[in-house]
Structure 1
Amino acid sequence: MYLTSTYTMTASLRRTLALLQSDLTRGQKEVTTGRHADLGLAMGRGVSESFTVVSARASLEATRASNSMLSSRLDSTQVALSALLSDAQGMRATLMGAQTNGGDPGAIVTQARQALTTFMAKLNSSNAEGFVFGGVNTDQEPVVNYFSDPPQTNKIALDAAFVAEFGFSQSDPAVSTITGPQMKTFLDGAFSSLFSAASWKNDWSRASDTPIRSQVSLSVAIDTSITANEPALQKLAAAYTMMTDLGAEDQGSAAYSTLLQSAMTTLDSGIHALTKTQARLGVIQNTVQTANETMLIQSDTLDAHLHDLEAVDPIEASARVNGLMTQIETAYTLTARISQLSLIKYL
């Protein structure tokens, strides 16, 4: 005959209660989250597929977050280019009007100087990632300030070229003696060379020719920046500079007329090229938007697949929790009754 003590039975029930409580905790978690509480236990080797899906989705989310910052930079770039285009068109309209009546040279010089100032400010704009028009050189201003004191490389180069061509500076009264052909020779020769690609990068620009390259989707990487070394921007700077700093206010009518015509022709070329640059930037923006839309669909597909892999039947999970709670209540009742058993009551 085997005798079982009250303590032994109570201890056994307590162990059972602990197991039931652990099962209840997992069950309640599954009811709340809709997922298996222990993926390894529930899915076995299939859990590796779940981890793969989670990793792929995390990569998509990281790329979409990166694209959000990229879109902000592209929008800022597009706004800056639109402002530059507007200024260029306004300057061209002024020059066009001056073709017939000469205009007010002082007012035109002031407008050109303001346009050049705005031009440099736009190209030197920055955000949290660095200078927008710097290409991969995001840590320094892309364009040298032409109006700096002391003079910088771009101003020094133009002053030297003017003196070498005419024998006097732009502020010298002798500017009035420059003829139309002499001005044309200077503008087509020495002045034009100041805005060649090589001279631009030597005297004006600290930007890189290499644009920023971004991974816009898991499989697509594209160039995603416009640098200050765009030919369109060099043309605009040339047009503004020739009207700002070649002594237009003191020139004779023939030289001044030649200057106006050259500035307008240069602006026309710059405006045309800038429009193409904006269109190229628009293609980049559309590519990023399309990539985001595609990744959103991919994320939704992965979410659905992950749900199929990890989800529990909510009805079954709730029934299991209710059953466990009933078992726990029964176990507590039995434990309480057993703890009251004593041989003393029967002696």
Structure 2
Amino acid sequence: MPFSEVQGAVQAIQRWLDEPPGEAFVRQCIVLRLLQAAGFDIWNPDEVHPEETNVTGNRADFLIRRGRGRFALELKGMGTSLQARDYQQALNYAVSVGTRWAIVTNGRVWLVLDERRDGDWEAKIALRVEMGQEGDTFASDLAALLDPAVWERDHFAQAVEGVQQRQQQRKDEARIRRDKKPIVEEIRQFYGISTFELAADAASKMGRITEAERDVLLGKGASAPQPDPPEAITFSYAPAGARATALFFPSLSLWIVKAGSTARREVKAYAAAIGRRREKLLQAGILVDDGRVLTYQRDVEYRTPSAAAGDVAGGSKNGWDVWHDTLGRPAQHHRSE
């Protein structure tokens, strides 16, 4: 999830955001910036397709496409109240291009609409996120919703559910802070306890608050910000008689061949270095020879795709060409310029 990039973009927008901007500003300075920060190629019309009335007569400001997923995106000026016709227009367009999802935004408020929900347009609002949310929760929520990897796998329903759960968790934790903090402060003053942390621990031991409530009051709740895990792209490579799966972490320049992958037993005569590396892996029990293939017993890290491919194939290979992602694209497609 590209949280840090979205977080930086949100903070930059908030520095200049004063008077509510019109639709043109919302489009260029907020929405496109956030789409790009999330990882979409805003200059590629196959991915971020600008407004166009389709053959059914429906239109939206953008059709966003990535892999198996797509959604209609309808924009309004920040000073404009969102109306029923805006939601209906976005939903009509979404349905006409074969998706259940639409997002309507004025830059500050982002509403996710799900055509499959029963009822009128208000009932079809699956989720609401707003730039005024506490701390970095808006950036976190929006990054989860706009994550291109989510759309590529068509897993948006799961992303929506995850954000809904986090929002409910925040509400629960806000209630705990409102209701339980006074109890801890009372105990702290009554017993002359030096710190709030010690008083919260005492309140928990006395049964006045639960351990979970104590953790929330001490900033250790489930919704506390977590560091972003590095993003990984899954690849496969199947030289004759073998098949390997690898994860590529672009931010770390790291490749990991996964446990259970298989490699060819034969090593080309010219590939002495690969042979020596293979022998070390065999001696360490990381590779096991069953007489047909070599099987990885645990994950193995590589610094280049070619080194990983070489160990799998038993000979020199251009890893950027032979490793392919889940859509069949070579690793070269994901290579940084």
State the TM-score, normalized to the length of structure 2. 0.24
Structure with the larger helix share: 1
State the TM-score, normalized to the length of structure 1. 0.24
Q: Which has the higher contact order (CA 8 A, sep 6+)?
A: 1
Q: Which has the larger Rg?
A: 1
Structure with the larger strand share: 2
